[in-house]
Structure 1
Amino acid sequence: MMWHAVADQDEEVKTKSEDGDAKMAGDGQKAGRPKRDRIPTIFSMFRQHQLFAKLSKCTFECSRIAYLGHTISGEGVTIDSEKVQAIQQWPLPTSVRSLRGFLGLTGYYRRFVQGYATMAAPLTDLLRKNAFVWSKEAANAFQSLKIALTTTPVL
């Protein structure tokens, strides 16, 4: 799927995919007008470009929003609190499959952890064929990743 994005002078960003789906986000504060005053403008732009919005999927005047496992706010982007809780409660891996699950989840948030690859190296080494032998080094790496991801900075 290919996306096209256009930004106008009001700091509004519109994206449209080839299959007709569209997403639009804007920050009325950056444009110098209150957000509420911009809603009619947004709807008229939708009509002008023959776009439709499903009301159940719209959010207005919110200070933070959960999107694709992240929480986006005026302060920046953080890991969604549900995912942080899942990482905190993740049990020690007892098989390659459970280790892959953990590394898949943590790898999705690797940009929040400086030196992620180095920190996860003892765990990724266990994914080699016939190499899954849990060690103290692997346990330390597991705990370090959990701590790093549950105390992440705001990007």
Structure 2
Amino acid sequence: DEKEHEEHLKAILELLKKEELCAKFSKYEFWIPKVQFLGHVIDSQGLAGYYQRFIEGFPKVAKPVTKLTQKKVEFEWGDKQEAVFQLLKQKLCSAPILALPEGSEDFIVYCDASNKGLGVVLTQREKVISYASRQLKIHEKNYTTHDLELGAVVFA
């Protein structure tokens, strides 16, 4: 949020002043909604939005951690959150490794929907190219199974 960003900026500027360092403000941008860094876009979701494509069922796995970012939810990092964090790290660093696409043929998209979320897997010749999934929005939880399945296809 902007107030938090302003507080961080103020703390950094005070630290620079204390250490007698200078900053050339023409080289900086403030209050921008997303940043492109090393070819990757970092937005309000941080890198989680980027890395979730590599972990099957990311929203379900990460729910105990992502729940902490909701409004009116007290931030309490307990054993459950630590276990999820360690599991996510392990999944990012181990097989199954995603394959790179080869050519433009033989792609298959698998879609699925449940009363919790949507999931998609892109494969080529039985090798996983990418995973994508997300939790249902509150209003989507009222959708029929047929509409959710169609939503998964659109999401894909």
- Normalising by the smaller structure, the TM-score range is 0.3 to 0.5
Higher relative CO (Cα under 8 Å, sequence separation at least 6) belongs to 2
Q: Give the TM-score of the pair, scaled to structure 2.
A: 0.32
Q: Give the TM-score of the pair, scaled to structure 1.
A: 0.32
